[in-house]
């Protein structure tokens, strides 16, 4: 807080008030002179006022170039006493009505200077005023008034002014001291309040949890730094906005005790986050409930890990099941297929019988394909890790895919966006090509009436990010949450293991895979694999990674699991 006795502020104020008073005095005296016969020289009076204006302008200039404000205060007060004396003399000395200006100058001296200087200024004012009266009375200077007063009256006037000036100096000094004491206390209190406010603000800003306060109508009044980071917007942009509009789900209702809940939030990059929210009332004892306080933490990573654990449990169970029954199913399946082939060679079978045999053959082949995928999924895979360039693998996959699409006249166009010469990773080239093919196959199946498959590769921090975006119908959020689990196929004839195998292979490469989808807006599968250089050594076979599935990031996408 700026002190009320700050020298520069008071000097600036003094110059402005002086100019205002001079203007009023000049105007009033000139008006009186026009209405009544003047007893003093108007020219002399106006000259004195103009001189005072010039001195004020000089002090205003001096204030901007000289920082010794105490000395400036003393100079201004002394010059004001002198100029008041000159104006009083110009307007009739003892007959002047402007001697009230002396007490004003004494009051200013009490504010700007120590109290002893206030008494000295009062004494100086008394001496100058008395000298003007005495010199005018005895003719030492030309009298400015036509009125002649008695000597005793003159002495009485001088004596009264002496007590008046000293009284003004005493009272103004006491009042000024009181104001200074109040000012000091106010500054101390203000400083303590500012420190307390700064402490509270630092505490609020230092909280790792997001914090939002609202009025009773739900409009936001405060957002701390953690909340702004979690919601990925500047804190100032939230003020006045309804808190409910920030989230996809309804917030917990405030109650007499704090209430808890979970809500979803879509970030600026279309990734969906999950927050745990605690709502409590903002209450001041003297004023009651003024609003609500919302604190929230980011549970996105925890929920993602929980989903991953569930997926891992399901994958492990499916793997054990596949290993246990696949071989047992294949033996009778082989017998069934052989018997059906023998039956189909009977020459006198009718058309209906042959159709039934064809159905048995086709379903046997389909069952054999499921068992083959089972075995491929459940076996302990051996990975031949080496520094490989993913771009040729992608090019080969997309070239085969384009030839097939042209042959089938599918109406699907493939677009490629590769802005680099190579994309080297530590991985198994054959397994990565299987990942690319499975994802592309899903995208083609999703676009039954034609569309566009856009494949792009770009660096992202320390990873390569490969994106497969189709223009299919998209997938619903319920399927998107478990799209990498086995048997989640939306396609007729699909085994539902394609994306489960993709997920398994990406785990082995310490990679991430997730889908972004909204129904009706297509689907995008995103892969991330750590970048490497061609000079890096070949990794060990059978590497068991600590990969994660970013399935929680399903905020936008559409294809299906074939």
Q: Which residue has the tokens 């396609």?
A: 491
Residues 227 and 346 in one domain: no
Q: Which domain holds residue 241?
A: 210-298
Look at the chain and count its residues.
Answer: 562
Minimal CA–CA distance to 217: which of 243, 237, 236, 238?
243
Q: Which of 272, 298, 324 finishes a domain?
A: 298
* Residues contacting residue 241 through CB under 8 Å, at least 6 positions apart: 219, 220
In terms of phi and psi (left: phi > 0; alpha: psi -120 to 50; beta: otherwise), the region of 220 is beta
**Is 84 among the domain residues?**
yes
Pairwise CA distance, residues 168 & 159, whole Å = 14
Longest CA pairwise span in the chain (Å): 161
Residues 446 and 372 in one domain: no
**Is 558 among the domain residues?**
no
Q: The CATH number of the domain where 479 resides is what?
A: 3.30.565.10
- Whole-structure pTM value: 0.44
**Is 89 among the domain residues?**
yes
Q: The CATH number of the domain where 269 resides is what?
A: 3.30.450.20
Pairwise CA distance, residues 439 & 493, whole Å = 16
Residues 423 and 369 in one domain: no
pLDDT of 442 reads 87
Q: Which of 269, 298, 327 finishes a domain?
A: 298
Helix axes 498-508, 351-378, angle to 10 degrees: 20
Could you say which DSSP state residue 538 is in? P
Residues 417 and 548 in one domain: yes
Token output for 281 = 């009332």
Spans of the chain, pLDDT less than 70: 1-7, 38-39, 143-150, 191, 195-201, 269, 315, 318-319, 322-324, 326-327, 373-381, 478, 481, 487-496, 533-562
Tell me the per-residue pLDDT of 303-344, one tens digit each, with 9 for 90 and over. 878 877 877 777 677 667 766 676 677 777 777 877 877 777
Contact 84, 100 (CB under 8 A): no
Minimal CA–CA distance to 513: which of 454, 558, 467?
467
Residues 374 and 390 in one domain: no
Pairwise CA distance, residues 14 & 438, whole Å = 85
Contact 280, 293 (CB under 8 A): yes
pLDDT of 318 reads 67
pLDDT of 555 reads 30
Task: State the Cα torsion 271-272-278-279 to the nearest 10°.
Answer: 90
What is the CA 5 to chain-centroid distance, rounded?
Answer: 39
Residues 153 and 84 in one domain: yes
**Is 399 among the domain residues?**
yes
**Is 429 among the domain residues?**
yes
Token output for 282 = 């903002």
pLDDT of 394 reads 92
Residues 79 and 174 in one domain: yes
Residues 152 and 79 in one domain: yes
Pairwise CA distance, residues 444 & 421, whole Å = 27
Q: Work out how many domains the chain is built from and give that number.
A: 4
Contact 386, 533 (CB under 8 A): no
pLDDT of 529 reads 93
- Radius of gyration of the chain from its Cα atoms, rounded to whole angstroms: 47
Q: Which of 357, 378, 399 finishes a domain?
A: 378
pLDDT of 539 reads 39
Residues 530 and 398 in one domain: yes
φ, ψ at 30 (rounded to 5°): -70, -35
pLDDT of 546 reads 34
pLDDT of 146 reads 63
pLDDT of 557 reads 29
Pairwise CA distance, residues 202 & 196, whole Å = 10
pLDDT of 474 reads 84
**Is 2 among the domain residues?**
no
Residue 466: exposed, middle, or buried by beta-carbon count in 10 A (0-12, 13-18, 19+)? buried
Handedness of CA 11, 12, 13, 15 (dihedral sign): positive
**Is 476 among the domain residues?**
yes
Residues 53 and 160 in one domain: yes
**Is 199 among the domain residues?**
no
Minimal CA–CA distance to 146: which of 158, 156, 136?
136
Residues 333 and 276 in one domain: no
Q: The CATH number of the domain where 370 resides is what?
A: 1.10.287
> Average pLDDT, whole number, for the chain?
78
Contact 503, 550 (CB under 8 A): no
Residues 455 and 510 in one domain: yes
* Residues contacting residue 430 through CB under 8 Å, at least 6 positions apart: 384
């Amino acid at each position: 807080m700026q002190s009320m006795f700050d020298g520069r502020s008071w000097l600036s104020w003094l110059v402005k008030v002086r100019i205002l008073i001079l203007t009023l005095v000049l105007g009033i005296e000139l008006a009186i002179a026009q209405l009544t016969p003047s007893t003093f020289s108007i020219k002399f009076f106006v000259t004195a006022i103009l001189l005072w204006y010039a001195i004020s302008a000089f002090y205003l200039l001096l204030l901007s170039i000289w920082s010794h404000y105490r000395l400036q205060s003393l100079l201004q007060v002394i010059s004001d006493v002198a100029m008041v004396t000159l104006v009083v003399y110009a307007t009739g000395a003892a007959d002047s009505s402007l001697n009230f200006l002396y007490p004003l100058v004494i009051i200013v001296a009490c504010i700007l200077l120590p109290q002893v200087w206030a008494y000295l200024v009062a004494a100086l004012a008394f001496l100058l005023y008395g000298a003007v009266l005495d010199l005018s009375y005895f003719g030492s200077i030309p009298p400015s008034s036509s009125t002649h007063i008695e000597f005793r009256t003159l002495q009485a006037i001088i004596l009264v002014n002496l007590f008046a000036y000293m009284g003004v100096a005493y009272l103004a000094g006491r009042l000024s001291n009181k104001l200074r004491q109040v000012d000091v206390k106010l500054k101390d209190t203000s400083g303590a309040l500012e420190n307390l406010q700064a402490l509270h603000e630092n505490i609020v800003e230092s909280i790792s949890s997001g914090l939002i306060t609202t009025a009773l109508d739900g409009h936001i009044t405060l957002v701390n730094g953690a909340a702004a980071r979690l919601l990925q917007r500047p804190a100032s942009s939230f003020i006045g906005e309804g808190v409910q509009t920030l989230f996809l789900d309804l917030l917990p209702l405030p109650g007499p005790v704090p209430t808890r809940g979970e809500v979803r939030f879509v970030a600026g990059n279309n990734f969906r986050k999950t927050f745990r929210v605690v709502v409590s009332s903002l209450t001041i004892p003297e004023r009651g409930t003024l609003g609500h306080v919302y604190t929230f933490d980011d549970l996105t990573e925890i929920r993602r890990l929980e989903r991953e654990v569930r997926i891992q449990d399901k994958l492990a169970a499916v793997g054990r099941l596949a290993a246990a029954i696949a071989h047992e199913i294949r033996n009778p399946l082989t017998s069934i297929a052989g018997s059906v082939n023998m039956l189909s060679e009977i020459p006198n079978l009718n058309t209906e019988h042959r159709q039934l045999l064809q159905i048995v053959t086709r379903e046997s082949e389909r069952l054999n394909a499921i068992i083959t995928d089972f075995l491929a999924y459940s076996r302990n895979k051996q990975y031949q890790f080496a520094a490989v360039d993913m771009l040729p693998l992608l090019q080969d996959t997309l070239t085969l895919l384009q030839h097939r699409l042209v042959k089938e006249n599918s109406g699907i166009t493939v677009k490629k966006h590769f802005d680099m010469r190579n994309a080297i990773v530590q991985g198994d080239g054959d397994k990565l090509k299987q990942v690319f093919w499975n994802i592309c196959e899903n995208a083609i199946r999703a676009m039954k009436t034609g569309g566009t498959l856009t494949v792009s590769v770009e660096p992202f921090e320390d990873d390569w990010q490969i994106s497969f975006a189709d223009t299919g119908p998209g997938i619903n959020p319920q399927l998107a949450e478990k799209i990498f689990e086995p048997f989640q196929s939306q396609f007729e004839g699909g085994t539902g293991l394609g994306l489960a195998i993709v997920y398994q292979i990406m785990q082995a490469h310490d990679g991430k895979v997730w889908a972004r989808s909204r129904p009706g807006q297509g689907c995008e599968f995103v892969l991330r694999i750590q970048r490497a250089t061609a000079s890096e050594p070949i990794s060990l076979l059978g590497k068991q990674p600590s990969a994660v599935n970013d399935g929680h990031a399903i905020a936008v996408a559409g294809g299906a699991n074939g």
